[in-house]
Structure 1
């Protein structure tokens, strides 16, 4: 059922309607009645409708005005192209296929090009229909310019949309909160319950789905990529700090090395927050990296024995290091976003590969990454291009009088699933029927009296764009039908048959849209989400034993007594392949959330599956770097690490089939008492144990249905089932294994 619009939605729709009406009528009416320029008037009318109503441009009034300015050159070019290709149906159809695909595929560039695409489509559609009149091109372009300038003025000055807090400001506030929590943990040993709740809530607010489209860092450029990476790292940092509430029950202050590292994390967060607010240069991660290096050297000085106290200290240190690494990533990303081109030593260069890449190459990489049948962006682009091309072919072949309405119906009523398309088509046909009936009665009653239509047009347009967006598809189609009838009645002799033409064209467009919906990915993104997440889990599964092997070699490789860590590199090709599949799965998840039924519906917890893959990837990149020197690992420890890693690999592959009850990795992820007596190898083993515990918890959560498909997170069902597995040590280690759950996950490993 369609959600009831809020009071704010209705107010914003009214304000938008005022701006569109002012811009459209201020250009249309003078051009018709004062300058006798009907062609220019038509384009001046549809420019505000295309870029103000059909394209839901995000942001404040100033942001929208800027986007309209940037879209105008594209609009002028599309009008010129459509005018030239209107010479014949074949040429117009070919152009429609190319334009439809290019503009739709441009959605890969982020929310701004995605929002502008539908409106830009209209400029080509309008110009590509007969009559073929290249001599009218100057008038057409003049009309677009007039309408565009008036829309820019209206968006800037007339009830402009309010500004929202930028992504930079939101990140700065979250980093300030993280800094205060890190200081609290350094003093008391953990954060209190109230602070933990604030940290988790702040992390949820940084999710892409919670950020308004106008501030969402989903673009292709270096700055957007850096801000997106900062947001991911800050969410992990906040979640790790919130997890410290589950550290040992005595809340004793951490030992000196851990306290020093937490304070340096706080300083790094404050420095990055100042830079994001524009109050100073972005500090590089050099200082924090040095403290982390000292911390690792302290960990490496562990004695040859591993009694209960030593194990507790090392597990606490592992949890503290899990706080420091996302802080390092966030600080580096802020510096890159501010213009840094070099990634300091010790930071995985592949995480910041975009730091010194030119914008053109960033665009090419984004587009090339989506040139696969698994990309929902490509699927949507192909579906849209095929629908618009077919509609243009039908309209041209049947020589429909107002054939562009056929394409407009496909453009406005098409959805990503056949079920949603059918729902929109039913409402659209119903609304068009009543709208066409009202338009026919209006023309019969008024006759050929342009002045009357001019007086009716302003309140009718205001009503159409104020009520339609909040009342639903039927109202929008009905009111728009009456509106276009009044507009065309002022451009040529009015006849009640315009209502008949509108109805016939909309029915034709609905039929074409439905056919494309049935033939082209009728299930939308849901099936693609299942496939892409399954492929993702299978691609990351081998990284678990590979990472464990880089830290703890298999016993047979060292004569059965263990050996030096860090001898097996994780394959860069496997990492790149997994990251690519992660991006495709994230795009499918985002689209699925926008479809009826969302990404939930009682099925697998897709977000938990994505989180599990992210945990594997970050652990694969960072854990080998945290083993600074080769360390002898006893045979029992090597056997445990290898078997636990292989067990998690098998469990990850099983999870790719999404069993209803989830996948249990068993007790193998817990380090047995015989293995923890590892002396200097204990830090490596505790990092692995923490990582294994988080992965096991996420895999179990994959089978849990989501109650809130869009916002499951640290406090949602996907997290709840794994909470117990993330608790800090509180019991001693005995022969039967530790009598506790594992502490928070490995360095930097938290949900995306």
Structure 2
């Protein structure tokens, strides 16, 4: 009964058997390598590096993508693994030389993840390879055996990833983005039908809307595991993040347009025709992200936008002759929606590797796509070589902690000193709070494992027994232990190490004692480093960049309004500054997403915060293209209205920035952005104004209302939401 209950518990925690399949692959490869090298070839060095190479690459490395991609990453990482083992072996002659190497290697390996946080999973494995090689005995002549053991392990593990019980390929981010685009396109079709055709069934329209919102919610980075999320600095991953933000804004604009449907359908409404073109472009662009599809071409959308803009000015005389302000509102909303659809379409082209022509990067959001991948990665590295960079802080903290642990293990002449560094690597997190959280299971599990191991070794001293139970302990440590929790995982890993070293260098029950002492020392070093060096973690850096990002957004909005009123030059510098701030907060969020933190303390919906800026940049650029600077000059009543709206919006940005600085966001009342409200706001200003000026006023006021709605949609995430696992 107890066994059935435990099995049911394990199946619930691993419904797809992914963890057990990975544990089975690791167990088989590790057993073949260890038995073949230790008992077949008779080499303890080959066996040690083969076994730990399997554990490092198969358990400590958290690799992204499907099985063939993981196998390719493992094989491509071999030159770096050889270099780390060679450097560690050559520096093992001196404690201080090894510690200096640990300082450099620890920092470089950790900081390299800034270019692609998905590959941060390799960092712990790389550090483990150096750690293992940097301890005595100093035997440069044994380097070929060390490299041979690791190479054998990595090659066999890569083959096992592909051919042995491969994991089912989960739905990729591109597939979810394509599904979201399809759902949004379906809702756009329904909104177009509501504007121009006999009303569609309200239930069908509401169902399409709900499906669209569910699909768009699924593309938030917070719902994607770090190994699959598009968080790299490269052009394609960055384009996917822009696409997600644009799609959220497309859905919001479509919602506004659906709410603005006229009482009676208008068969030849320009907004309806443009909406249908937007639906077709959104659907085609989303499907272009799927394997084997062709790149999307936004040319048809550009034609539809041109036609809508040509039909946009209604009348040329006094507004009293043709006061069709509601239609102007709908047209303005449709054009704003088309702007975001075009951003989405161009982003999909960049994400699929298609080349951009001169007009595709006109918004400035995709200007980076004209640069080489190495240039983009260099920009990413350079942006984090700054005093406030959380990634710089965490890399330095880890490197210093590992170097101190290496010195302590060498000075104290610990027999298995690499366990000290392994414990430090396991306990140390990006913040002091997370480090304390990881400490308890590490220490408690090690105590339990040491007690069990010591008791077994007092009774059993025959190496053949430990050779027989090795596969069982491997499966328990990396399968069952991982499913039962950190304490069990640490305890079973301690038992595994005892079983391994009982065959390599039998020491009796003192091996368990050495393991306990080493882990306690490493845990203390990790905790002290976590408390003493930048204890607040990546969230602090993200909040700082978020505050500056929101301030830059507010500045860009204000200067855009001033330019349209003829009171300031075009806001080119403000928009450029906002784009730079956008890159910084985007980079910080990608790093934050890749790290481990308590979901109960996540109080900011960062996906929504980032989307707010993506609404500002293309919206301001398109607004200035259709409404040149100074287009509302000489209309004091309109200037007063727009300055008032911009002032309220600035206050909203400031309030949100203050909340973000303190790591929280509050619920906000919804902002009404319907054309009826728009008409009520501007009706007192219409006397004597020509229709062209009214058109400019409507579009600017509509843009400001849309920005206010974007801010109002930023709510705190649900407490206890999906956990983001890191290293």
What's the TM-score once normalised by structure 1's chain length?
0.85
CA contact (8 A) 1:180 1:266 kept: yes
CA displacement, residues 375-423 of structure 1 (integer Å, 9 cap, x when unaligned): 3222221222122122112112222111100110011122222222223
- TM-aligned CA deviation for residue 57 of structure 1: 2.0
Q: Could you tell me which of 506, 512, 520 is aligned with 2:533?
A: 520
TM-aligned CA deviation for residue 199 of structure 1: 0.9
Preserved contact between residue 181 and residue 247 of structure 2 (Cα < 8 Å): yes
Q: Please list the CA deviations of residues 677-736 of structure 1 after superposition, one character each: whole Å capped at 9, or x if unmatched.
A: 54212333223223322333455566x654347589xxxxxxxxxxxxxxxxxxxxxxxx
1:175 match? 181
Structure 1 residue runs of 5 or longer lacking an equivalent are: 558-565, 713-752
* Aligned: 1:299 with 2:308: no
Match of 2:392 in 1: 378
**1:323 to 2:337 alignment:** yes
2:271 to 255, 258, 261: 258
Question: Following superposition of structure 1 onto structure 2, how do residues 26-425 of structure 1 map, counting pairs within 5 Å?
Answer: 26-189=32-195, 192-248=205-261, 250=263, 252-253=265-266, 255-306=268-319, 310-345=324-359, 347-425=361-439
Relative to structure 2, which stretch is displaced further, 646-655 or 133-142? 646-655
Given that 2:363 and 2:618 are in contact with CA atoms closer than 8 Å, whether structure 1 keeps it comes out as no
- In the TM superposition, residue 16 of structure 1 has moved relative to its aligned partner by 1.3
Query: Residues 475 and 615 of structure 1: is their aligned pair in 2 closer, same or farther, counting only changes over 3 Å?
Result: same
Cα distance between partner residues in 1 of 2:463 and 2:486? 29
SS of equivalent to 1:541: helix
Q: How does 1:492-507 map to 2 (within 5 A)?
A: 492-507=505-520
Q: Any conservation in 2 of the 1:236–1:326 contact (CA below 8 Å)?
A: yes
Aligned to 2:641: 640
1:306–1:411 distance in 2 versus 1, CA, 3 Å: farther
Q: Is 1:486 the equivalent of 2:491? A: no
Decide whether aligned partners of structure 1 residues 551 and 711 sit closer, same or farther in structure 2, where only a CA change above 3 A counts. Answer: farther
- In structure 1, how many angstroms separate the alpha carbons of the residues matched to 2:557 and 2:433? 40
3-state SS in 2 of match to 1:657: helix
For the structure 1 residues 664 and 536, does the alpha-carbon distance in structure 2 shift closer, same or farther, using more than 3 Å as the test?
farther
Q: 1:675 aligns with which of 670, 675, 685?
A: 685
Pick closer, same or farther for the CA change 1:177–1:653 going to 2, 3 Å.
closer
Q: How far, CA to CA, are the matches of 1:102 and 1:526 in structure 2?
A: 22
Report if the CA contact (8 A) 1:608-1:701 is conserved.
Answer: yes
The CA distance in 1 between the partners of 2:520 and 2:206, in whole Å, is 59
Question: 1:662·1:699 contact (CA, 8 Å) conserved in 2?
Answer: no
Residue in structure 1 matched with residue 705 of structure 2 by the alignment: 693
Cα displacement (A) at 1:214: 4.3
Q: Distance in 1 between matches of 2:527 and 2:493?
A: 21
Separation (CA, whole Å) in 1 of partners of 2:165 and 2:667: 51
Over 3 Å counting, the alpha-carbon distance change for 1:346 and 1:340 in structure 2 is: closer
Partners of 1:196 and 1:243 within 8 A in 2: no
Deviates more, 1:685-694 or 1:127-136: 685-694
Structure 2 residue 579 is the aligned partner of structure 1 residue 576? yes
In 1, the alpha carbon distance for the partners of 2:587 and 2:175 equals 29
Structure 2 CA distance for aligned equivalents of residues 293 and 39 of structure 1: 72
Alignment of 1:518-597 (within 5 A): 518-554=531-567, 569=572, 571-584=574-587, 586-587=589-590, 590=593, 594-595=597-598, 597=600
CA drift at 1:479:
0.7
The superposition leaves residues 54-84 of structure 1 with CA deviations (integer Å, 9 ceiling, x where unpaired) of 1222333223222222222221221111111
> Offset at 1:533?
2.3
| C-alpha contact 2:189 2:279 (8 A) present in aligned 1 | yes
After superposition, the C-alpha distances for 1:469-514 in whole angstroms (9 at most, x for unaligned) are 2222211111111111111111123321111111110000000000
CA apart distance, 1:26: 0.8
Q: Which residue of 1 aligns with 2:3?
A: none
Q: What is the rounded CA distance, in whole Å, between the counterparts of 1:253 and 1:710 in structure 2?
A: 44
Give the 3-state SS of the residue equivalent to 1:300 in structure 2.
Answer: coil
Distance in structure 2 (CA, Å) of the matches to 1:243 and 1:179: 15
C-alpha contact (below 8 Å) 1:468/1:479 kept by paired residues: yes
CA distance in 2: counterparts of 1:88 and 1:98, whole angstroms: 16
State whether residues 192 and 276 of structure 2, in contact with CA within 8 Å, keep that contact through their aligned partners in structure 1: yes
- The match for 1:563 is none
Query: Could you tell me how far apart the structure 1 residues matched to 2:305 and 2:556 are?
Result: 25
Tell me the distance in 1 between the aligned counterparts of 2:658 and 2:132: 47
Cα separation, 1, equivalents of 2:360 and 2:112:
36
Aligned to 1:722: none
Does the CA-based 8 Å contact 1:440-1:499 persist in structure 2? yes
| CA positional deviation for 1:329 | 1.1
Q: Secondary structure at the match of 1:350?
A: coil
- What SS does the corresponding residue of 1:34 show, helix, strand or coil? helix
Aligned residues: 694
Q: Following the alignment from structure 1 to structure 2, what is the Cα–Cα distance between the partners of residues 236 and 331?
A: 13
d(CA) in 2 for partners of 1:83, 1:582: 40
Describe the SS at the equivalent of 1:299.
coil
Cα deviation for residue 539 of structure 1 reads 2.7
Q: Would the aligned equivalents of 2:89 and 2:138 in 1 still touch at CA under 8 Å?
A: yes
Distance in 1 (CA, whole Å) between partners of 2:181 and 2:366 is 20
TM-superposed deviation, 1:569: 4.1
Question: Offset at 1:521?
Answer: 2.4
Q: Secondary structure at the residue paired with 2:222?
A: coil
Q: 1:710 to 1:381 in 2, by over 3 A?
A: farther
Residue aligning to 1:707? 718
**What is the distance in 2 between the residues matched to 1:230 and 1:697?**
20
Question: Is the CA contact (8 Å cut-off) linking 2:63 and 2:70 kept in structure 1?
Answer: yes
Determine if contact 2:599/2:720 at 8 Å carries over to the other structure. no
Does the CA contact (< 8 Å) of 1:421 and 1:517 recur in 2?
yes
Partner of 1:594, secondary structure, is coil
Q: Deviations over 1:307-363 (max 9, x none)?
A: 695110011112212321121112112223334333443753521122221121111
C-alpha change, 1:346 and 1:42, in structure 2 (3 Å) is closer
Q: Which residue of 2 aligns with 1:748?
A: none
- State whether residues 440 and 496 of structure 1, in contact with CA within 8 Å, keep that contact through their aligned partners in structure 2: yes
**Structure 2: how far apart are the matches of 1:213 and 1:584?**
14
| Counterpart position of 2:453 | 439
1:675 deviates by 3.4
Given that 1:469 and 1:476 are in contact with CA atoms closer than 8 Å, whether structure 2 keeps it comes out as: yes
CA shift, 1:370, in A, is 1.9
Stretch of structure 1 that moved more, 422-431 or 213-222: 213-222
Aligned 1:596-745 pairs, distance under 5 A: 597-600=600-603, 608-627=608-627, 631-633=631-633, 634-658=635-659, 671-675=681-685, 678=689, 679-699=691-711, 705-708=716-719
Q: TM-score normalised to the size of structure 2?
A: 0.88
The 2-side partners of 1:665 and 1:625 are apart by 30
Residues 56 and 345 from structure 1, CA distance in 2 versus in 1: closer, same or farther, beyond 3 angstroms?
closer
Work out the CA distance in 2 between the residues paired with 1:385 and 1:651: 41
- Following TM superposition, by how much is the alpha carbon of 1:265 offset from its aligned partner in structure 2, in angstroms? 1.7
TM-superposed CA distance for 1:645, in Å, is 1.8
Q: Do 1:182 and 1:265's aligned partners in 2 also have CA atoms closer than 8 Å?
A: yes
